[in-house]
Amino acid sequence: MGEKGIRGGRYKILSREEVEKIHHTSLKVLEEVGVEINGERALELFRDHGAKVEGNIVKIPGDMVLENIEKAPSSVKLCGRKGEHDLVLEDKRVYVGTGGTALRILNSETGEVKPSKLEDIKDTARLVDSLENIHFFMLPLHPHDISKEDIDVNRFFTGLKYSSKHVMGGVYTVDGVRNVIRMAEIISGSAEELRKRPIISMITLMMSPLKLDREYGKLMIEVASSGIPLVCPTEPICGSTAPITLAGNLVLQNAETLTGVILTQLVNPGTPVICGCVSSTSDLRDMKYLSGSIEMGLLNAAAAQMAQFYKLPCYVTAGMSDSKIIDAQCVYESAMTSLLVALAGGNYIHDAAGMLEFALTDSPEKYVIDNEILGMVMRAVRGIEVNEETLALEVIKKVKPGGNFVANPHTIKYMRGEHYLPMLSNRDSRKKWEADGRKDTTQRAREKVQEILKMQKPFPFPEGVEKRILAEVPGIKKV
């Protein structure tokens, strides 16, 4: 098993004073500027609990913000169908995984892309289930062969059927939310068991700047009412939907996600809610969204610190690239942001595997390459253990000057756990590498994808569960 749930937080991009400045400025934004809330039920909830409502602008007093943050749990458990894949989001514990929702799949051999289909979600789920450094399966693709009203159930059904890891996904309709929850209850054995061990979680959305859309408001209220864990992410983009400065972006992002947190607690106090950040920057030449900028890593590392300040779990972004193919740019952009956000102690780092080209495209080979990157990232998060045994003074004394440590019992004891052992990297001599075909990283990743998809077998549902789901939940297409 890959390392997961390790405590990060060694990297702090913000000082305590800077965190507090962002906090206090966010409170001023919520109280003095307000948030556009669309939807009568959401407006009513804010009005009834002390917010000032002027038309559809809601101004939230600072004490109301803090009171509802206190109601939200500091720890949220997300479970896999296999218990070994359970995640506990709290403090600075780090988990990394997939993200979504990309619209197409890259063929690494031809460089061509095709619209993604439900079959691609199936193959990606099977692939990710075998990659030990990818800790959860966030539904990564939009299935173009499925109608909108059936997307929710088909994405979640396919993810749950072909992955034993926790499945999170965005949702599109209230009926879809209800059907997905019903399906998960059948798989779990009961409604109570699903709440006890939530094998699914859902993503709603705040819109930048400072807006809750009517439909997303309905979805947020529906999920919060159900008691299923949910994320309230926001995606302010520097220079377009947020101030150009990183600090200004952070203020806006913080105010927006706290609005979502507050609403969930007004609906259902104690709702397992996760702060969400998908902040990034824009290309100032044409204002398009960027997913691989180093500033994205800085923003999401800082967002993790803000969540830690509130003692709330966080959902943050890292690991994407703006490259169109698997190349050096793809790898260095993915590695840099993943390392920053993980070292900062981001709890649920999504988009960390598979995505490129401004989050529009998914690549099977990139999942394998990112799995390697993330193994190294988690090793960096673990850091250096310093104690009497690892300092190795007695070992050094025994070996003495001019000796070697190769056969020493201390070496044998620590050789596997102390150092990350790569699955994909090539560490052979040039002579052996040439004899084996001079394969580059992408070629080796392609072979690994083919090997996994040929050998991997899904973790089956309990007997009779699939038949019952197909009978009781409408709209599912089998793949």
Give residue 61's Cα distance to chain centre. 31
Q: What is the structure's pLDDT at 100?
A: 84
Q: What is the structure's pLDDT at 457?
A: 86
**Burial (Cβ within 10 Å: 0-12, 13-18, ≥19) of residue 57:** middle
245-297 confidence digits (pLDDT tens): 999 999 999 999 999 999 999 999 999 999 999 999 999 899 899 999 999 99
Q: Which domains does the chain have, with CATH numbers?
A: 6-15+70-382 (3.20.20.480)
Residue 128: which of 85, 177, 87 has the closest Cα?
85
Q: What is the structure's pLDDT at 440?
A: 96
Q: Looking at beta carbons, which pairs linking 182-185 to residues 24 or more positions away fall under 8 Å?
A: 182/472, 182/473, 183/153, 183/156, 183/157, 183/469, 183/473, 184/156, 184/160
Q: What is the mean pLDDT of the chain?
A: 97
Q: Does the pLDDT value for residue 1 go beyond 70?
A: no
Q: What is the structure's pLDDT at 247?
A: 98
Locate 387 and state its tokens: 């104690």
Section 22-33 average pLDDT? 98
Residue 102: which of 16, 148, 169 has the closest Cα?
169
406-449 confidence digits (pLDDT tens): 999 999 999 999 999 999 999 999 999 999 999 999 999 999 99
Section 19-48 average pLDDT? 98
pLDDT category at 167 given cuts 50, 70, 90 is: very high
Residues 107, 114 contacting (CB under 8 angstroms) = yes
In degrees, rounded to 5, the angle at the alpha carbon of residue 91 between the alpha carbons of residues 137 and 163 is: 10
83-105 confidence digits (pLDDT tens): 999 999 999 999 999 998 999 99
